[in-house]
Structure 1
């Protein structure tokens, strides 16, 4: 092996070691996707919190969430829509959306997609 090959192997090995160390640190911190210095997203508050005003329900299976900030981002995207009240479970990767009007699944999915996440499955209940 010549010296150039040895240098290339050492560089690749250093990159692999550095990447592995960073990945392990990220896993130990809970796998947050958001940098430590980034301020947590503030929640969009639902004004009408009377569940009896929301006769419709939709459930969305969501991919791409990895931390509580992701949960807030999805909730905020859905709660910003008129007549919705969303709660999101990171454990189940599921958004439950209560609605005042019949669900427009495409509109709900678009809000989630625009927030940077993927909707895997959709279901509505009247």
Structure 2
């Protein structure tokens, strides 16, 4: 095989690899990829619980969410905790958490970090 043919073959293989890498990246960042349950199935958003009274509101920064499925996953996990009404804002990388009872920050942070995201403390109480 001549060196020219080898070079052309290598360039074609690299072009194919780049095509699929870029295609998958675009889908991922549009929220259409397999990230956090995206893709063929639409994720279900659990409606936040209505609290009888709100004793505190906390704002927690979250790093590592890339798409609406990531934010939905975090919001659902937080809303599964009794006494929490949470809304996650992907564009601001933050969770606004209303508390109906006293809940330790460590529990909230563990819920987020167990999903693979990083907690950035922006406000609220330090427990």
Q: TM-score, normalised by structure 1?
A: 0.74
Distance change (3 Å), C-alpha of 1:22 and 1:74: closer
Ranked by relative contact order (alpha carbons within 8 Å, sequence separation 6 or more), the top structure is: 1
1:51-80 Cα shifts (integer Å, max 9, x gaps): xx1211221111222333322211111111
Matched, 1:19 2:21: yes
Distance change (3 Å), C-alpha of 1:69 and 1:20: closer
- 2:110 equivalent in structure 1: 110
Unaligned runs of 5+ in 2: none
RMSD: 2.7
Unaligned runs of 5+ in 1: none
- 2:119 equivalent in structure 1: 119
Distance change (3 Å), C-alpha of 1:37 and 1:12: same
- 1:31 equivalent in structure 2: 30
For the residues of structure 2 that align with 1:45 and 1:120, how far apart are their CA atoms?
Answer: 22
For the residues of structure 2 that align with 1:121 and 1:72, how far apart are their CA atoms?
Answer: 20
- 2:71 equivalent in structure 1: 71
1:54-112 Cα shifts (integer Å, max 9, x gaps): 21122111122233332221111111112111111112111011113344221111101
- 1:101 equivalent in structure 2: 101
Distance change (3 Å), C-alpha of 1:114 and 1:41: farther
- 2:91 equivalent in structure 1: 91
1:12-32 Cα shifts (integer Å, max 9, x gaps): 1221133224434x27xx610
